[in-house]
């Protein structure tokens, strides 16, 4: 599993996305950025910022 914690990019946000595929995590994270954080956060390097913060998550 891959996991992205929005709080690592937007301090204070508790949203996280996890999926088997990194691309799916990125897709969900971008959707969250658009719907929740709007234009203030979206920049052309946003996907790179998200990818840099995606971590492997151990299955419990
Ligand atoms: Zn967020």
Condensed to tens digits (0 to 9), the pLDDT of residues 1-28 reads 999 999 998 899 999 999 999 999 999 9
- Length in residues, the chain: 60
Look up residue 8 and give its two tokens.
């690592």
Ligand 1 center to 27 CA (angstroms): 13
Condensed to tens digits (0 to 9), the pLDDT of residues 28-52 reads 999 999 899 986 555 668 889 999 9
Look up residue 59 and give its two tokens.
């299955």
Ligand 1 center to 52 CA (angstroms): 15
Ligand 1 center to 21 CA (angstroms): 20
Ligand 1 center to 53 CA (angstroms): 13
Question: What is the Cα–Cα distance from 45 to 50, expressed in whole angstroms?
Answer: 9
Question: What is the Cα–Cα distance from 18 to 26, expressed in whole angstroms?
Answer: 9
Look up residue 56 and give its two tokens.
């492997």
Helix H or strand E segment including 15: none
Task: Identify any residues that bridge with 4 across adjacent strands, giving them in sequence order.
Answer: 17
pTM of the model: 0.84
């Amino acid at each position: 599993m891959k996991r992205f914690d929005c709080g690592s990019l937007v301090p204070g946000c508790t949203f996280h996305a996890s999926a088997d595929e990194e691309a799916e995590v990125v897709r969900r994270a971008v959707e969250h950025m658009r719907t929740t954080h709007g234009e203030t956060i979206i920049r052309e390097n946003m996907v790179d910022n998200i990818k840099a913060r995606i971590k492997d998550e151990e299955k419990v």
